């Protein structure tokens, strides 16, 4: 079932009841876990460790935060709900920024914004058009489900979009940020040639989950008693020298041939 969540947007004293509807649908193939011998479904049950593995019903489960060995601070759902403010339950825009100010690394899940009531459509359309004209993004903090998050409210074409953003302390530093090598001018020129020759416009329709499609076909094949065959996608050519890999790549481009698949596994250091 697609995610749907009712809330409201507020900027200034303007209040817009809305519904968030998931942009992305899950196309994952759902496999059930089976016993290898009997092919019967494997069930997962919640049990109590100190009660001889007694099965615990959902209504008898509470949340606990461990503060010491075998010691927990226990919370009921009602207690956690009390910690939410009215502001947490609404999307109160705090500021408007330019979209290019937000590093794409902060973007998480994305939702369509839909006015919840007919009398909210005018205010919704007003905000959508002003955001589009000003090329601005509304930034707010809110609760979606049981978690607090920063959100960005922006416009794409005719759609108002809300994107969840990661908090700054959730984004880890890049382990490769301190790597620095002196780049050879010829290597730089060859790499630039390859990139320029492969440049084009991004079209999402050009890309499909081919593995997903192969799995679906395999399900039908196995149901008919057919054997699964290994995929043969050619041999990966391994080139250990960076310059050689660059030169061969450009050579393939110049010849107009299909690009030879190259995998740089090691870069030889210059003496």
Q: Per-residue pLDDT for 260 more than 70?
A: no
Model confidence at 93, pLDDT cuts 50, 70, 90, reads: very high
Q: Name, in order, each residue with C-beta under 8 angstroms of 268's C-beta and a sequence gap of 6 or more.
A: 240, 241, 242
- Tell me what pLDDT residue 158 has: 94
Please state, rounded to an integer, the average pLDDT across all residues of the chain.
87
Model confidence at 261, pLDDT cuts 50, 70, 90, reads: low
- Tell me what pLDDT residue 80 has: 84
- Tell me what pLDDT residue 84 has: 78
Tokens of 188: 């730089």
220, 221, 225, 227: CA torsion to nearest 10: -150
- Tell me what pLDDT residue 9 has: 94
Q: Per-residue pLDDT for 63 more than 70?
A: yes
Cβ neighbourhood burial of 111 (10 Å; 0-12, 13-18, 19+)? buried
Of the two residues 150 and 1, the one the predictor is more confident about is: 150
- The parent domain of residue 125 ranges over 4-26+83-170
Residues 160 and 249 in one domain: no
- Tell me what pLDDT residue 86 has: 66
Q: How far is CA 23 from the centre of its chain?
A: 11
Domain endpoint, select from 137, 170, 203 = 170
Residues 240 and 165 in one domain: no
CATH number of the domain to which 97 belongs: 2.40.290.10
What average pLDDT does range 190-211 have in this prediction? Answer: 91
Tokens of 253: 């481009």
Residues 115 and 187 in one domain: no
Cα end-to-end distance, the chain, whole Å: 61
Model confidence at 145, pLDDT cuts 50, 70, 90, reads: confident
What average pLDDT does range 257-264 have in this prediction? Answer: 50
Residues 270 and 162 in one domain: no
Domain endpoint, select from 170, 201, 216 = 170
pLDDT in tens, 161-187: 999 999 999 999 999 888 888 889 999
Backbone angles phi, psi at 56, to 5 degrees: -110, 130
Cβ neighbourhood burial of 10 (10 Å; 0-12, 13-18, 19+)? middle
- Tell me what pLDDT residue 201 has: 94
- Tell me what pLDDT residue 19 has: 93
How many domains would you assign to the chain?
A: 2
Q: Per-residue pLDDT for 49 more than 70?
A: yes
What average pLDDT does range 94-123 have in this prediction? Answer: 94
- Tell me what pLDDT residue 265 has: 46
In a domain, 211, yes or no: no
Distance CA 150, CA 40 (A): 44
Residue in 136, 168, 169 with CA at minimum distance from that of residue 153: 136
Model confidence at 257, pLDDT cuts 50, 70, 90, reads: low
């Amino acid at each position: 079932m697609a995610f749907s969540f009712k809330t409201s947007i507020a900027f200034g004293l303007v209040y817009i009841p809305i519904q968030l509807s998931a942009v992305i649908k899950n196309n994952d193939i759902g496999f059930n876990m089976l016993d290898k011998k009997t092919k019967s479904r494997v069930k997962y049950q919640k049990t109590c460790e100190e009660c001889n593995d007694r099965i615990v019903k959902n209504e008898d489960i509470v949340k606990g935060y461990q503060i010491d060995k075998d010691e927990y601070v226990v919370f009921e759902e009602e207690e956690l709900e009390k910690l939410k403010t009215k502001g947490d339950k609404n999307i109160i825009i705090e500021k408007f920024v330019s979209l290019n100010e937000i590093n794409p690394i902060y973007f998480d899940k994305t939702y369509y914004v839909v006015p919840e009531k007919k009398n909210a459509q005018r205010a919704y359309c007003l905000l959508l058009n002003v955001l589009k004209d000003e090329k601005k993004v509304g930034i707010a903090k809110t609760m979606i489900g049981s978690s607090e998050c920063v959100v960005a409210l922006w416009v794409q074409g005719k759609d108002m979009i809300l994107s969840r953003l990661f908090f700054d302390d959730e984004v880890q530093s890049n382990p490769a940020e301190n790597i620095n090598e002196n780049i050879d001018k010829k290597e730089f020129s060859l790499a630039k040639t390859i990139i320029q020759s492969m440049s084009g416009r991004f079209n999402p329709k050009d890309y499909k989950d081919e593995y997903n499609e192969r799995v679906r076909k395999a399900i039908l094949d196995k149901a008919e008693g057919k054997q699964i065959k290994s995929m043969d996608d050619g041999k990966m050519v391994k080139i250990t020298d960076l310059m050689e890999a660059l030169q061969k790549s450009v050579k393939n481009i110049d010849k107009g041939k299909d690009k030879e698949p190259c995998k740089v596994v090691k870069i030889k250091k210059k003496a």
